[in-house]
Structure 1
């Protein structure tokens, strides 16, 4: 973790090992999440019938930029001979010579059914973020995170059997995998609160949380290679089996608190416990004050900022390739290197922002609140502004790719901004806070493809400009909301304050507490501060 040194026994600090183990776990999580996106290409029979092929003749559409500059260069004869499939190297001769035996191990699914299979994971994922945070707070991250990957891996091994039986069974398996995966990120937030000193949290979260980008980069080419050389069932057998090795390592090496770790050095344990002692000394709540939590304006500031960030990022991931195809005449998904660049840039930017964010605060250059605001600006406002610029780049494909990478990189800084802010508000309910924020953000961002599709029925440049302006406006509003209403003070509901009627939250950590006879006492909550580490 940055300047962390080895212990006097020559061992790597336990929290550094935890960061590495968690990062690999997040990679495994994403391998199990998106392996279906790759394997389904080899699982499903392509449209091979003569009727379907003939129906495609004459249906070739030209991109906006192609219609302006390159339409005259299109070989009309090729389109007449091969229709839309001419660009794919697929022709009528291949139709006649097609051997049905090659499809004997493939599923016959319509495009709607394929969409249901791919979307099934997210229907389950959406539902368990808040329960995941509470489970980890009660039973520990070790059981929740490890159990999630264990169940997901075992179900993944069953996918080939379920797929051959019925695509309904396949959908059900993917829904269950989504359900158990939804608990992971909120559970990780609980681990951070119990293990990582406040001045190291931005770094830890950036390295571990943003390893999802590495999971995506790894899964796309590796699963494609497995499917091509060994068949699509091998994708699930190999990814599911390999995940079990991580589960074994996690259960053996991970411990929910420094006190439970048998191999941590006394120096490191002392440093961690002293760094988080003010948080740990807070009275532990006996019951969850749901009403007060849901009335917390600073928590809603985090949730709104996270929602704006995810809205813009999901637009980039799901719709910008369509924009470049329908407007620019270029699909970024056609080149493996280009499709990986946004994820790589996001991961690298996340690590850099984590190190810089911790350094800015620990060195005294800026306070914690200003650090959260700075990285929220980078992760929410700047991508929104860049999205608007996309519509005014004309037919410059190179600049579109650059903007995609820059926007993805800026999003990677959210771990040092609004996501880290959940620990500032409530160490005791960091998992629940993350669950609420993630659930709301995910629910809204799932609407991005629907909104974009409704606003671009004719796939014109002006329609896409409207989508980009809407996104930029939403992200700007979310950024402003965070700037005005965010706080870094520990909230009273961290200690189980019971209801919204008894407390009135105001900005900056000031709370009016009802004393029962019309008396109102105003108090300023103390921020959690720790000194810069000296021995570790």
Structure 2
């Protein structure tokens, strides 16, 4: 058991190291290829894949565990990751989309023109204005919003299956199916109908789906804001805010477990703290956020 736990923790660290650069890389690519008036649409499409992946993973995990045991989940998703790594180098955006975007939006020569950052220019501009980042209220607003958004996302993603299983008495497979519905709603998909669910369960899932669907609007703006503040440093800014956004994956999930043990209340442990965190993030973002390009950009 000890060896298995160490191996699991080590694999999670390696996965985190690999995935940690993905959001910044995706944001940098979008900042270079897409004009500002199309970035929200592009961000929604790209980041919608995160919710689709969560939904498909939750949908498949229950049946896989029931039919083939829990190791099958790790093997399947590992193979999918290896397949993605093999296919991704075949995509060469510098030879296609950026030129098409420049031709299509040739009239947008000021703020509405894609930002081109070539390799020689990147080498000449390695100096990053860190002090300006951390003294900028809009950057802090995005950072706080990212933290609060992910608090709800990661905490609910981790605990909803247990909530459906322990509080509502559903088995692993049904709880996995119900858990994926809010994430499908976030990607504007129709929630799946569960014929065997009772009215209270259907009402709970419906409310959660509505909350997640509405949160998709905030995500579209949140992940574009880095590019608004500084197309040049969009990837670096997302790296900063995404670091803050990764903390709830540890703090939020752990805090929910501790509160559940001490209060024996799902509302006090999971739902009230999540709602309070979301409201706080919305308040800070409303007061301090900006869509204007910053002077240090």
Which residue of structure 1 lines up, in the alignment, with residue 212 of structure 2?
408
1:451 to 255, 267, 277: 255
Task: Map 1:224-303; keep pairs closer than 5 Å.
Answer: 239-255=77-93, 260-261=94-95, 268-272=101-105, 275=108, 278=111, 280=115, 285-303=125-143
- For the structure 1 residues 474 and 274, does the alpha-carbon distance in structure 2 shift closer, same or farther, using more than 3 Å as the test? same
2:256, 2:269 within 8 Å by CA — same for their partners in 1? no
2:180 to 331, 336, 340: 340
| 1:204 aligned partner | 42
The 5-angstrom pairing of residues 113-512 of structure 1 reads: 116=5, 168-169=6-7, 171-222=9-60, 239-255=77-93, 260-261=94-95, 268-272=101-105, 275=108, 278=111, 280=115, 285-330=125-170, 334-348=174-188, 396-457=200-261, 459-461=263-265, 464-465=267-268, 468-494=271-297
Q: 1:269 Cα deviation (Å)? A: 3.4
Aligned-pair CA distance for 1:441: 2.0
Following superposition, the deviation at residue 337 of structure 1 comes to 3.1
**Residues 336/317 of structure 1: CA separation in 2 closer, same or farther (3 Å cut):** closer
RMSD: 3.5
Structure 1 residue 216: Cα displacement:
2.4
SS at match of 2:291: coil
Contact 1:213 1:344 in 2 (8 A): yes
Contact 1:318–1:449 (CA under 8 A) maintained in structure 2? yes
The count of residues paired between Structure 1 and Structure 2 equals 281
Q: 1:461-491 deviations in whole A, cap 9, x for unaligned?
A: 5x73475333333322221111111111111
SS across alignment from 1:396: helix
2: CA distance between counterparts of 1:223 and 1:321? 11
Q: CA deviation at 1:403?
A: 1.6
Normalising by structure 2, report the TM-score. 0.78
Counterpart in the other structure of 1:9: none
Structure 2 CA distance, aligned partners of 1:331 and 1:276?
A: 57
| Deviation of 1:274 (Å) | 5.2
Q: Aligned partners of 2:60, 2:271: CA distance in 1, in Å? A: 33
Unaligned runs of 5+ in 1: 1-108, 117-167, 350-394, 495-536
**Structure 1 SS opposite 2:232:** coil
Question: Between Structure 1 and Structure 2, which shows a larger proportion of helix residues?
Answer: 2
CA separation of 1:232/1:275 partners in 2, compared to 1, >3 Å: closer, same or farther?
farther
Post-superposition Cα deviations, 1:249-296, rounded to whole Å, max 9, x if no partner, equal 3222322xxxx31x5697643225654754638997451111111111
Q: 1:295 to 1:333 in 2, by over 3 A?
A: farther
1:322–1:331 Cα contact (<8 Å) kept: no
- Conservation of the 8 A alpha-carbon contact between 1:298 and 1:487: yes
Distance in 2 (CA, whole Å) between partners of 1:322 and 1:220 is 13
1:458 Cα shift? Answer: 5.3
Q: Distance in 2 between matches of 1:447 and 1:470?
A: 12
| Alignment CA distance shift 1:240-1:454 (3 Å) | closer
Unaligned runs of 5+ in 2: 190-198
- Identify if the C-alpha distance between structure 1 residues 399 and 239 changes in structure 2 by more than 3 Å, giving closer, same or farther: closer
| C-alpha distance in 1 between matches for 2:139 and 2:231 | 13
The alpha carbon displacement at 1:319 in A equals 3.2
Mapped contact 1:455–1:464 kept (Cα < 8 A): no
Change in CA separation of 1:487 and 1:187 when aligned onto 2, cut-off 3 Å: same
| 1:327/1:460 contact within 8 Å kept | no
CA shift, 1:425, in A, is 0.2
Whose Rg is larger? 1
Deviation at 1:303, TM superposition (A): 1.1
Q: Displacement, 1:194?
A: 0.4
User: Which has the higher relative contact order, 1 or 2, with Cα contacts under 8 A spaced 6 or more apart?
Assistant: 2
> In 2, are the aligned partners of 1:308 and 1:474 still within 8 Å (CA)?
yes
Aligned mates of 1:305, 1:434 — CA distance in 2 = 12
